[in-house]
Chains A and B, each alone.
Chain A
């Protein structure tokens, strides 16, 4: 074989595979991959979906194949029709767990030219998160102002309200839902200038001298 001369493979079994049909699947390779209706592939001996493990990031490989039927029925969400296959891509379990346990979200501050990133998995509570934000944007301090969490820029007296975008794309006030729920649904954070946060904050009673401890989580 001389790879340099760019010889095209003569027609052979490989070329008979009908690449269009095989392109998007993870069935076993082999001539029988193509079904008559060109639909989803099933391997020779085992169904395609039987090799799918839907327990993402789950270390315990003793998990039984769950809900095979459900997997077979649910519509494929991403363009490539790619479904998770057990043990693929071949990344060491330790690395998989280390990487997937990161939940990095962008943090934007109204008026600041740069964004930051925080790993929500590093925190156990709203208080820790807000303290960390305080350190990151170090000119601000956080005040628990009545029932809301606000961040106040002492330099210019501007109040910031921490908000986040959830999975549905809605902008929500930080602190309403239990911490874990927040971690799971938060896509990114934004410290909005208080005046612009109208519409997100619930109605608040008029300002008074005392602050109220809000129980977290």
Chain B
């Protein structure tokens, strides 16, 4: 290995693309570390506070693509206060000052200001791709800056962001010379857009492969866009309320016939269900169908559509499809790998329309299933055991029973055995979310069998510290652990403090760890940042035996962050 000059090793390393492999390569020896770091173009930072921009820039001068994640996962569910952190600006500022030729930025749960978008747009000549997922803090003015200044923009992909929509003409800010767009997704924007500008933009973007519209784009415009872009691979409709007797509807029907490449379909934010038949011609080739934002379709219309989708690999739907509808999915979609069933009523006040029966049907009909997110009314151990037998290939298994401590309704037992069967059968399981009535027993099983588990989400579960300890001791590959409303305390937290250095982060809220316990941990492990988030009550520094509301700890190379707000106390 020492006998190969760098020029020989570099192209070899080019073939190594996964972050994990790259990281391993860099640890082999000094010379490999050096070659790897100069040739690295893509960097993934799962916790933006684990390092800092300066270190990133120093180590990877050839950086082209950066992925950053900010807030902890439970921020998605309103458990993290609004201004906790995860600010993009310092990263852009530092990168802009350096000689890094950033081309791609992918962000998740970050606070992205208009200023940072504007600076981004002006600082990197070759910037090509911006993907924002579940971010906030920006307005359409920031988007206007991106549109106006990024001359070679290929991708602008906005997924489920909270954007302050100024209803300005950000789309019109794409210059006439911009013809490079490959992917444009603004489905999450709430406001009006300039329809003429959109039509012209699509018309001059021959490479456009992915287009996802927002609700403000009416059917008439959709029809025109499809005529312009028959080469699309991925389509997200905005409003789909045609007048069935109109010329526009007829034109759409023929436009759709020409779109032979569409493999991915979403949208229908507003829908005229009588006109879904126009879509059937493209259903046969669909591999991804996302109707999880289409409450306007009835269960029947949904199943009628799905019956045309025999090649489906990923399906996202609402629970009103019902168990019977899932039966239709099971008998139609034999290639199904990923299923997400979301609650139609996300406040959980009503009842979910699916139960364990639907899941069992799916598992029987779709043996390739490896990823599940399932919001349901109830679950039984027997069903989970059957599912485990039918589908041993789960990589991601997330079950959410609307009543989080509901036992097996048939036996009135906890769901320990059911989840135990899942982890025992699915040896490749990497991500697991639990719900329902659960005792320490389920954690015993997880610790015993879930050897590949990387992320575990626990809510309202367990009886004692033993539960958490089973997991910490048994799951050697655990990276992220998030726990809420469970009776785990200091004994579990402090038993093996070194464990947290092998993990990205730990979240515990409404548990039984005390301030004293957290302080002890912080003292013993200076390489961790232990944050206490305490918004509602006054911080009483002297009361060490007080339980903490929310604790978030993570390993870091750069010590305590300087941008923490008042209600965050870093021990």
Contact = CB atoms under 8 A, between A and B. Distances in A.
Rank and list the top 8 A-B pairs by shortest CB-CB distance, nearest first: A14-B439, A3-B421, A87-B77, A61-B78, A94-B160, A91-B346, A96-B346, A19-B412
B416 A9 contact: yes
A102 interface: yes
Interface string B517-532: 0000000000000000
Interface in A1-57: 1, 3-4, 9, 12-14, 17, 19-20, 22-23, 25-26, 28-31, 43-46, 51, 56-57
A177 B242 CA distance: 30
A14 B349 contact: no
Interface in B415-443: 416-417, 420-421, 424, 433, 437-441
A136 B275 CA distance: 12
Contacts of B272: 136
Interface of B: 74, 76-82, 134, 160-162, 188, 243, 245, 270, 272-273, 292-293, 295-296, 342-349, 375, 385, 388-389, 400, 402-407, 412-414, 416-417, 420-421, 424, 433, 437-441, 445, 448, 457, 459-464, 484-487, 510, 512, 535-536, 547
A84 B347 contact: yes
A45 B460 contact: no
B347 A96 contact: yes
A29 B462 contact: yes
A82 B349 CA distance: 7
B484 A30 contact: no
Contact of B345 (A12, A43, A99): A99
A78 interface: yes
Interface residues of A, number: 58
12 contacts: A9-B417, A13-B440, A14-B441, A28-B486, A29-B439, A64-B536, A78-B349, A88-B77, A90-B459, A95-B160, A98-B293, A99-B295
Contacts of B461: 29
Nearest to B83: A62
Interface in A46-82: 46, 51, 56-57, 59-62, 64-65, 78, 80, 82
Contacts of B82: 60-62
Nearest to A136: B272
Contacts of A82: 348-349, 402-403
A122 B296 CA distance: 13
Nearest to A15: B413
Given A23-B406, A89-B346, 9 more contacts: A1-B424, A13-B463, A28-B460, A28-B510, A43-B485, A51-B485, A84-B347, A88-B77, A99-B293
Contacts of A51: 485, 510
B437 A138 contact: no
Nearest to B409: A23
A167 interface: no
A62 B375 contact: no
A29 B79 contact: no
A165 interface: no
A166 interface: no
Contact of B296 (A78, A93, A119): A119
Q: Which of A9, A46, A88 has the most CB of B within 10 A?
A: A88
Contacts of B74: 87
A182 interface: no
Contacts of B243: 135, 138
A56 B347 contact: yes
B79 A86 contact: yes
A160 to B, nearest CB: 19
A3 B383 CA distance: 12
Contacts of B403: 26, 80, 82
- Specify which of B81, B346, B414, B439 lies most central, judged by the most chain A CB atoms within 10 Å of its CB: B346
Contacts of A30: 463-464, 487
Contacts of B438: 29
B402 A89 contact: yes
A3 B417 contact: yes
Given A30-B463, A86-B79, A62 B346 contact: no
A89 B547 CA distance: 24
Nearest to A1: B420
Contact of A1 (B292, B445, B457, B536): B445
A20 B407 CA distance: 10
A86 B75 CA distance: 12
B412 A91 contact: no
A102 B346 CA distance: 12
Contacts of A95: 160, 292-293, 342, 346
B484 A87 contact: yes
A207 interface: no
B285 to A, nearest CB: 27
Given A51-B485, A62-B82, A3 B385 contact: yes
Contact of A19 (B407, B416, B441, B462): B407
A87 B463 contact: no
Interface string A151-180: 000000000000000000000000000000
B437 A29 contact: yes
A1 B424 CA distance: 9
A92 B295 contact: no
A44 B487 contact: yes
Contacts of A87: 74, 77-79, 484
Nearest to A60: B82
A194 to B, nearest CB: 25
B296 A104 contact: yes
A94 B188 contact: yes
Contacts of A102: 295
Nearest to A135: B243
Interface in A127-153: 135-136, 138
A214 interface: no
Interface string A82-119: 10111111111111101110101000000000000101
A89 B463 contact: no
